[in-house]
Amino acid sequence: MKNMTLNLTAELTDARILAVIRGTSTAGAIAAGAALLEEGVRIVEVALTTPDAPKAIAALRETAPAGSLVGAGTVLTAADVADVAAAGAQFVVTPAVVESIPEAARRGLPVAAGAFTPTEAYTATRMGASVVKLFPASVGGPGYLKAVRDPFPDIPFVAVGGVGFDDVPRYLAVGAIAVGVGGPLVGDAASGGDVDALRERARTYLEAVAGWRA
């Protein structure tokens, strides 16, 4: 499925939150994703470490509100790209600089590529990534993101990994276009846990980024 007209940078800059769904249950991942989308979190990623993740992606695409995006995370190989493209993923996220980046770009799927160093960030964009996911962001914190970003003002960065509620404004303040949030937002909902608690956290995170909307 081609997504050549999708500007992932603009979408993330507008939404400010990328919800990362990583669970032990396909049904749980679908329930968590549906709840996030219903609460107004517009961009969700289903990690391929989730059982039958392509099925969850396809199910969420069928019911997602207009204007929302459903993508695939932990996409490592060209075969992974083929699987998630067939499921209808609208974008791809990687944990590192891997072979899936050029393959996704070749298929017209926007890529947020995982990187931690300046060299990796630059290499990822040269391979076709439109966004760099600084991962794991918590290792260096907002100051490190700023230091990596300073030489590359034209590369859009998303902070992912250990981003708690209080960290959100700190990353946005140093130039991250968005934050990716997994456990602190999703909790155990993607593994069959408390979806109502997830809804409450989603509303809290959305309130936190309301003033940062593009």
Write down all domains in the chain, each with its CATH number in brackets: 8-212 (3.20.20.70)
pLDDT at 214: 55
Q: Measured between alpha carbons, how far is 52 from 54 in angstroms, rounded to an integer?
A: 6
What does the pLDDT look like over 117-137, one tens digit per residue?
A: 999 999 999 999 999 999 999
Contact 114, 88 (CB under 8 A): no
Nearest partner of 180 among 34, 71, 60, judged by Cα: 71
- Angle, CA 127 vertex, CA 89 and CA 135 arms, to 5°: 70
Question: For the residues 177-190, what does the mean pLDDT come to?
Answer: 97
What does the pLDDT look like over 46-62, one tens digit per residue?
A: 999 999 999 999 999 99
CB atoms within 10 A of CB 171: 26
Q: Measured between alpha carbons, how far is 122 from 112 in angstroms, rounded to an integer?
A: 13
45 is catalytic: yes
Q: Of 45, 55, 62, 120, which residue is the catalytic one? A: 45
pTM of the complete model beyond 0.85: yes
146 is catalytic: no
Q: Measured between alpha carbons, how far is 160 from 145 in angstroms, rounded to an integer?
A: 11
What does the pLDDT look like over 63-116, one tens digit per residue?
A: 999 999 999 999 999 999 999 999 999 999 999 999 999 999 999 999 999 999
Query: Is the predicted pLDDT of residue 209 greater than 70, yes or no?
Result: yes
Q: Measured between alpha carbons, how far is 117 from 90 in angstroms, rounded to an integer?
A: 26
pLDDT at 1: 39
User: Residue written as tokens 């959100």?
Assistant: 168
Query: Is the predicted pLDDT of residue 5 greater than 90, yes or no?
Result: no
Q: Of 11, 103, 120, 133, which residue is the catalytic one? A: 133
Pull the structure tokens for residue 108: 């017209």
CB atoms within 10 A of CB 118: 15
